[in-house]
């Protein structure tokens, strides 16, 4: 039996999307007997160079023995109809380097996408003309349900899907494959039929893949926690199914698809030799054998210098807070645990008793936190190290942009392990980029619930942006108090990049407003909110993120009526709306602030919510969450009850205290002397 090979896999370099660490994937693949594994992160080549380093898993063990297939799941602008809000509808496309020429073209494509076609400030999108120009040495598949076939088929555009399929078929010829999966998604069967139909007409082969984002089936809750808490607050976003794990071969064959599609994945892996060729080319071009310092010859032929990149990791404190918020545990308990969680350096060695008690009481949450710790929150420039990119390395070092600044997609540890020419930077080289450096420093403080330090860093970041001297300027109101370290006055002149507004500047203002709210400075936070709404350079996507992070404005929820009585509040909802938890909670805020003890929800909308779950004899999830929210504030929830059925708690009836009789066991009751004795 031919061994299966994963051709669609995401590591932690798919930031905020995958929790599968590279070492975990290599260990699991090697344990399953597979000889190769593709690395196809979303628009990123960051995991390629770490995969080229020989790995030893423990003393006495051999290297992984797994050959990495260097690839990417690229974003593609195929000209599909835009979303209703006007943003372009992008596709996914899996590209895998077959040889060193293919890897160089992959680096060129991604570098062009990051520097010339960054959609919405975050998606490096390729175009069909660019792929036609740099397609040699690459293997292409139709990717997942969001691919060039899946996306149009989902929209009902079968003709567009077939045209894109035939265009890639003519371009890549024998290196183009249709991709099918067994995910339990509503649109997956129709997309599989379309791929099989188009492949049969064009005479192309099909591969079966698993869009892996986490290690095992039980890890979907950790993945769900990462997705929902990436902005500190729990959101409603989630994957449509819990099936995106690194499935072993026996599980893939058990899906019942054509076995030839599984065997074809191994034949694709046998065509790829890019990893060995790139490793040899890097060692040759680095011109360093005795250490990490660049030689004089390498320095002389240097054509470019780039900052390295690094990640902002999830700390143990951040991981514990994320699982606490995800599980919906009471906020009061977290305030007691937070002080001890800050002292944790490594999740494997915990000395604090409250943290150990939490791990024993909630073992599943503790396991989730251990899995999240160390994953990247964001990728930022490493302003303390630069890599000397010679002409020989120019098409081998992957490049991305961070807030308009090109950086090498490789960290310092990996670069030194591969003997790449790396040097430390001087203070004068870091000074022009002080704004970006302080922004990511503030993000680290903000994610770890240090609002004062985050506020200070964001102030410095906003004030330091003019030193970059790029683009046009716009006037941004500053804080009420000046920042001594940055010299902020009443207003700032903030330069923008060539695009409408740099994402770091917008996010700095967003996080600054949220830090103000966390510090209780509500008026200043609302002022920044108003300024952001009036700023023409801020698009709706950033405003949506701001509203999600800061909270909805204090306006009444349309359609929900609130009536306040002594000790009782009544929420009435007509049949014309379908309320969610956020709307019900927002409408109930005046009742909570007034100290109400009972809340009644009634109306046709509530009856409709209850009818959906009446057969299961359980409370609707929306109402169950609302009841839990009220219970944490000592408020009782009543559903579809008349107000007269709630007893008034203003003047409770006087009750005499119950008499407590002493419970004395019969054996210890005192009896008169001589009682129970015979004469």
| Cα torsion angle, 399, 401, 404, 405, sign | negative
Q: Which backbone phi and psi does 636 adopt, to 5 degrees? A: -95, 140
Query: Which residue is listed with tokens 């073209």?
Result: 105
pLDDT value, residue 511: 80
For the domain that residue 622 is a member of, what is the CATH number?
3.30.750
pLDDT value, residue 541: 55
In-domain check, residue 676: no
Contact in structure between 286 and 393 (CB atoms under 8 Å)? yes
Q: What angle do CA 456, 459, 460 make, to 5 degrees?
A: 90
Which residues, in sequence order, are CB contacts of 651 under 8 Å at separation 6+?
none
For the domain that residue 525 is a member of, what is the CATH number?
1.25.40
Which residues, in sequence order, are CB contacts of 18 under 8 Å at separation 6+?
10, 11, 12, 41, 213, 214, 223
In this structure, what token pair is assigned to residue 58?
């423990």
pTM over 0.85: no
In-domain check, residue 669: no
In-domain check, residue 127: yes
What domain range includes position 633?
561-644
Please state the domain count of the chain: 4
pLDDT value, residue 520: 76
CA-atom Rg of the chain in angstroms: 30
The reply to whether 202 and 77 lie within a common domain is: yes
The reply to whether 69 and 148 lie within a common domain is: yes
**Domain end among 388, 404, 426:** 426
The reply to whether 452 and 483 lie within a common domain is: yes
For residue 192, the SS3 value is helix
The reply to whether 573 and 529 lie within a common domain is: no
In-domain check, residue 221: no
The reply to whether 565 and 452 lie within a common domain is: no
Three-class secondary structure assignment of 580-617: CHHHHHHHHHHHHHCCCCEEEEECHHHHHHHHCCCCCC
The reply to whether 312 and 421 lie within a common domain is: yes
d(CA 358, CA 337): 9
Specify whether the backbone of 252 is left (phi greater than 0), alpha (psi in -120 to 50) or beta.
Answer: alpha
Residue 306 pairs in a beta bridge with: 387
The reply to whether 535 and 594 lie within a common domain is: no
Q: Which backbone phi and psi does 548 adopt, to 5 degrees? A: -65, -35
Over the chain (679 residues), the average pLDDT of each successive run of 10 is 85 93 92 92 94 65 74 94 79 96 96 90 91 96 94 94 95 95 92 96 95 91 90 80 90 92 94 93 68 48 81 93 88 81 77 83 89 92 93 90 90 91 92 90 91 89 58 29 28 29 68 79 78 66 53 50 69 64 76 74 62 49 80 78 43 44 44 43
The reply to whether 422 and 437 lie within a common domain is: no
172 half-sphere exposure, CB direction, 13 A CA radius: 31
In-domain check, residue 59: yes
Number of helical (H) and strand (E) elements in the chain, helices listed first: 26, 19
The reply to whether 109 and 79 lie within a common domain is: yes
In-domain check, residue 10: no
In-domain check, residue 622: yes
The reply to whether 354 and 449 lie within a common domain is: no
The reply to whether 373 and 500 lie within a common domain is: no
**Domain end among 527, 550, 573:** 550
611, burial (CB in 10 Å: exposed 0-12, middle 13-18, buried 19+): exposed
The reply to whether 419 and 439 lie within a common domain is: no
In-domain check, residue 237: no
Contact in structure between 140 and 175 (CB atoms under 8 Å)? yes
Residue 178 pairs in a beta bridge with: 206
For residue 475, the SS3 value is strand
**pLDDT per residue over 55-88, tens digit each?**
655 444 445 678 999 999 999 999 898 877 667 8
């Amino acid at each position: 039996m031919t061994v299966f090979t994963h051709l669609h896999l995401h590591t932690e370099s798919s930031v905020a999307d995958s929790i599968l660490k590279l070492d975990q994937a290599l260990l699991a693949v090697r344990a399953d007997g597979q000889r190769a594994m593709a690395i196809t992160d979303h628009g990123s080549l960051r995991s390629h160079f770490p995969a080229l380093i020989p790995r030893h898993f423990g003393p006495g063990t051999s290297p992984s023995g797994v050959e990495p297939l260097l690839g990417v799941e690229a974003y593609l602008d195929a000209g599909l109809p835009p979303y209703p809000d006007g943003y372009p509808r992008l596709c996914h496309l899996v590209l895998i380097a077959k040889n060193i020429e293919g890897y160089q073209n992959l680096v060129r494509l991604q570098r062009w996408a990051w520097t010339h076609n960054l959609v919405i400030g975050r998606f490096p999108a390729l175009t069909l003309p660019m792929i036609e120009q740099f397609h040699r040495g690459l293997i292409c598949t139709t990717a997942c349900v969001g691919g060039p076939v899946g996306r149009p088929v989902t929209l009902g555009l079968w003709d567009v899907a077939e045209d894109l399929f035939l265009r890639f078929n003519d371009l890549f010829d024998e290196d183009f494959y249709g991709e099918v999966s067994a995910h339990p998604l509503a649109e997956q069967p129709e997309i599989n039929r379309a791929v099989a139909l188009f492949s049969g007409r064009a005479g192309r082969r099909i591969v079966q893949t698993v869009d892996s984002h986490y290690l095992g089936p039980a890890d979907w809750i950790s993945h769900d926690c990462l997705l929902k808490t990436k902005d500190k607050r729990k959101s409603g976003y989630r994957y449509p199914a819990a099936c995106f794990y690194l499935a072993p071969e026996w599980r893939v064959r058990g899906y019942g698809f054509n076995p030839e599609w599984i065997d074809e994945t191994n034949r694709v892996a046998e065509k790829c030799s890019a990893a060995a060729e790139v490793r040899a080319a890097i060692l040759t071009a680095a011109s360093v054998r005795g250490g990490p310092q660049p030689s004089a010859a390498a320095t002389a032929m240097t054509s470019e210098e780039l900052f390295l990149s690094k990640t902002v990791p999830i700390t143990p404190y951040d991981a514990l807070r994320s699982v606490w918020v995800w599980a919906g545990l009471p906020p009061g308990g977290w305030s007691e645990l937070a002080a001890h969680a800050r002292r944790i350096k490594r999740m494997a060695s915990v000395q604090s008793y409250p943290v150990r008690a939490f791990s024993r009481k909630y073992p599943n949450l503790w396991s989730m936190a251990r899995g999240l710790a160390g994953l990247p929150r964001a990728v930022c420039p490493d302003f303390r190290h630069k890599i000397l990119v010679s002409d020989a390395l120019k098409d081998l070092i992957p490049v991305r942009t961070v807030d308009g600044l090109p950086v090498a997609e490789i960290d310092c540890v990996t670069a030194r392990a591969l003997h790449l020419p790396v040097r430390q930077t001087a203070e004068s080289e870091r000074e022009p980029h002080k704004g970006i450096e302080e922004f990511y420093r503030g993000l680290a403080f903000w994610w770890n619930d240090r609002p004062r330090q985050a506020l200070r860093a964001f102030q410095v970041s906003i004030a330091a942006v003019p030193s970059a001297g790029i683009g046009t300027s716009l006037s941004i109101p500053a804080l009420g108090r000046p920042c001594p370290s940055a010299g902020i006055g009443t207003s700032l002149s903030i330069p923008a990049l060539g695009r409408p507004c740099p994402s770091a500047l917008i996010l700095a203002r967003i996080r600054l407003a949220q830090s103000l709210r966390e510090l209780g400075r509500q008026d200043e936070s609302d002022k920044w909110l108003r300024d952001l709404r009036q700023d023409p350079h801020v698009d709706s996507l950033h405003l949506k993120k701001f509203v999600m992070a800061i909270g909805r404005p204090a306006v009444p929820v349309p359609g929900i009526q609130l009536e306040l009585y002594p000790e009782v509040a009544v929420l009435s909802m007509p049949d014309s709306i379908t309320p969610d938890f956020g709307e019900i909670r927002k409408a109930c805020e005046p009742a909570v602030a007034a100290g109400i003890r009972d809340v009644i929800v009634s109306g046709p909308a509530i009856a409709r919510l209850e009818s959906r779950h009446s057969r299961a004899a359980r409370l609707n999830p929306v109402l169950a969450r609302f009841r839990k929210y009220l219970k944490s504030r000592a408020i009782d929830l009543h559903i579809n009850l008349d107000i007269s059925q709630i007893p008034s708690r203003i003047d409770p009836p006087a009750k005499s205290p119950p008499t407590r009789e002493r419970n004395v066991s019969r054996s210890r009751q005192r009896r008169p002397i001589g009682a129970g004795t015979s004469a």
